[in-house]
Amino acid sequence: MKVVIVGGGTAGWWTAGCLEHNFPDWDITLIESKDIPIVGVGESTVPQIGNFLSNIGIEDSHWLANSNALKKYGNRKINWRKSGDDNFDWTFWYNYNKKFEGWAQKFRKGEVDLDSLNDFYDPNDWSGYAYHVDAFEMGRMVKDHCKNVKHVYATLTEKPEADLVFDCSGFAARFVEDKTKQHYPHTIIDRAFVGPHEPRDDLPMVTQSIGRDYGWQFIVKLKNRVGVGYVYSSRHVSDEDAYKEFEEMIDEGGFVPMGLPSEANSYNDKHMFFKWEPHALTNPWSGNVVAIGTTAGFIDPLEANALFHIQHGIETFVKCWKRGYGKKTYNKAVRISWNNTVDLMKHHYALSDRDDTEFWRYWDCCREECRQSVWDNYEKRHNLETNLYPSSIWATMAAYFDEWKRAPF
């Protein structure tokens, strides 16, 4: 089997590493262009990332030491329910036993507070932590692990000859045969300013997600730097005004910008700028081309889904190939994953009580729908292996946004 992977970022090398591990007899070549910058996004992750790397033979002790990574123990929400709200840490909590239902009854009666929800959290469980990673190094680290993948620098003008082509070219989607896009109602986040900043020892080991006027800010602590970004809706604020707001965030937080990596997609000498059309490909495997990573789609980086969709895309392909399933099964599985991600994004915004800007008032259109469906999702997403955001996440969301009156227990 002759396979060509187009693109040398995280998506490309993760695909190469997974294919080499699972199909050692395949002839695999990765082609990347020196003239196309690596996007380098996806610094905050979910717990499943550790499983993916372990499954291809790279253990925590190795890759944590070689990708500037740190363990993270949850996601700190700031200003999401309302502006000036108290901070709340969402941990990686997966306890479905009757203790949770007992806690819910006490919480309703006011006998325990919201923070006591984290008493169920076990940071030593396999799902007890995720990671903050250097997105540029994550690809290089898997690249160094690959033993038999041919690596070629070239600028392609035509689709390469191969039995299978994995298009990891990012938003360009250069060789995807079916570019039909699946769009979703209420996916309005479509811009981001991102930049590396000087390392800080005083930051907590959680991803900080801060509700802002026209979107949200993230703060991600790494060994070698701090990643700070502003993710926003261009229909509610201009890029120029959003950047001014972002600079205010940098000053307010006392962050000191660093120089960008040479391969970064530079906005200026301090930050990167990304814009995208929120979508997912309807058929990410079409013809002999499989789209992986942002080539297959991108919606909103909220809740650390970017690197997971790379993992899910390539692992789903491996499972389908080994079981003799074809494109129809693969495309359906990937669409379900995107649908789940979009659903969680929508609930995050719509359940908020914020109404201080047009961006937050926009979500009035689906607030009542989400108040009911948050519990529908809790009921049907108990399987951690098949759901990126399992029931515990939906239960925590309902608790945080005070939707317990509709709980099914």
Tokens of 298: 């991108």
Q: Where are the beta strands (DSSP E) in 122-256?
A: 130-132, 150-153, 164-167, 181-182, 191-197, 207-212, 215-221, 226-232
CA–CA distance, 201 with 85 (Å, rounded to integer):
25
CA–CA distance, 349 with 324 (Å, rounded to integer):
40
| CA dihedral angle for residue 61, residue 63, residue 66, residue 71, rounded to 10 degrees | -80
Give the CA distances from residue 35 to residues 150, 212, 264, 305, 360, in Å, rounded to whole numbers and listed in that order. Answer: 19, 35, 11, 27, 40
Question: In CATH, what is the architecture of 2-70+129-182+278-338?
Answer: 3-Layer(bba) Sandwich (3.50)
For helices 367-380 and 327-350, the axis angle rounded to 10 degrees is: 130
The full length of the chain comes to 409
Using DSSP's 3-state secondary structure scheme, residue 25 falls into coil
Q: Which of 71, 65, 66 is nearest to 45 (CA)?
A: 71
Domains of the chain, residue spans? 2-70+129-182+278-338, 191-275
CA–CA distance, 250 with 230 (Å, rounded to integer):
10
In terms of phi and psi (left: phi > 0; alpha: psi -120 to 50; beta: otherwise), the region of 380 is alpha
CA–CA distance, 201 with 254 (Å, rounded to integer):
13
Q: What is the largest CA-CA distance in the chain?
A: 66
- Taking only the tens of pLDDT, the chain with its 409 residues reads 999 999 998 999 999 999 999 999 999 999 998 877 666 555 888 888 888 999 999 988 888 887 888 999 889 999 999 888 889 888 876 555 556 667 777 887 888 888 888 777 777 776 678 899 887 788 888 999 999 999 999 999 999 999 999 999 999 999 999 999 999 999 999 999 999 999 999 999 999 999 999 999 999 999 989 999 999 999 999 999 999 999 999 999 999 998 776 655 666 778 989 999 999 999 999 999 999 999 999 999 998 898 999 999 999 999 999 999 999 999 999 999 999 999 999 999 999 999 999 999 999 999 999 998 998 888 787 665 566 787 778 888 888 898 876 666 6
For the entire predicted model, the pTM comes to: 0.92
Q: 111: buried, middle or exposed (CB in 10 Å: 19+, 13-18, 0-12)?
A: exposed
CA–CA distance, 82 with 279 (Å, rounded to integer):
28
In sequence order, which residues have a C-beta less than 8 Å from that of residue 132 and are 6 or more positions away? Answer: 43, 44, 45, 69, 70, 71, 72, 205, 207, 220, 221, 222, 227
Tokens of 134: 């250097």
With residue 275 as reference, give the H or E element that holds it. strand 272-275
